[in-house]
Amino acid sequence: METISESRCYGGVQGVYKHASDATGTDMTFGLFLPEEAEHAPVPVLWFLAGLTCTHENAMVKAGAQVWAAEHGIALAFPDTSPRGEGVANDDAYDMGQGAGFYVNATQKPWAPHFNMFDYVTSELPKIITNNFAVDEERQSITGHSMGGHGALTLAMNVPQYRSVSAFSPICNPTAGDWGRPQFTNYLGSDETTWERHDATLMMRNVGLDIPLLVDTGANDQYADYLMTENLWAAVAERRKAATLRLQPGYDHSYFFVSSFLEDHVAFHAEALYA
């Protein structure tokens, strides 16, 4: 593993690292914030998954999460959104290919050799981080924005390792919209039954969720037709799941929105991580 940079931040360290990934067959870069408490003992970690067109840098630089993570003694992990580099399939559209992995394991050509972001985020990168840094493998929670919100919700519904999940402006019902159907067809093939585990609305209806859930979406989100927020809320009501689902008046899809409510989300996860 290569250290790209390490900077003092709110008493802790914000680092950026690169490593060779078995899951993607490429070099992958991630950000990791360690609070001051990590100098003495392993700390819990909150995963932050970014959205379309983003890298590990977007949330790391724009969200301002480090100040709240430092306050609660929580590490922050910022993975990339897809494999990158020479020989990695791509597409001219911003919502396909590099920068748009949708947190799935692709099964179709030309995506399958490298686009295995589900395994990378849930298995490979957690092992790398807990093996190399003072991060507790038992205390993990997850959040994300937009495509990353989709990833946070669906990963939490598929694997049991998270204690809580939240999302900002998540893509809630991708099998029913343009931020989902074209991508799933390309990555996973035309058999729509293979898509279901990557759709938070369908997973909520079919499987449910047994950990605390918090979702914030801006009432003025310019991508509302792609997010299908109401479908997830309906599924939560049908499942009679205790959840906090908030529509924030006046806010859009930007990181200005994310940073405005991030304190709430970190505190929400801290309660679960330190329970």
List active site positions.
Answer: 146, 221, 253
Distance CA 215, CA 221 (A): 14
CA-to-CA dists, residue 73 to 7, 131, 248, angstroms = 17, 19, 27
Structure tokens at 16: 């950026």
Structure tokens at 192: 């729509």
Rg from Cα positions in the chain: 17
For 203, phi then psi, to 5°, come to -65, -40
Distance CA 262, CA 92 (A): 32
Distance CA 230, CA 240 (A): 15
For the four alpha carbons of 255, 259, 264 and 269, in that order, the dihedral sign comes to positive
CA triplet 114, 209, 162: central angle to 5 degrees? 55
For 220, phi then psi, to 5°, come to -105, 25
Distance CA 251, CA 248 (A): 6
Distance CA 111, CA 101 (A): 10
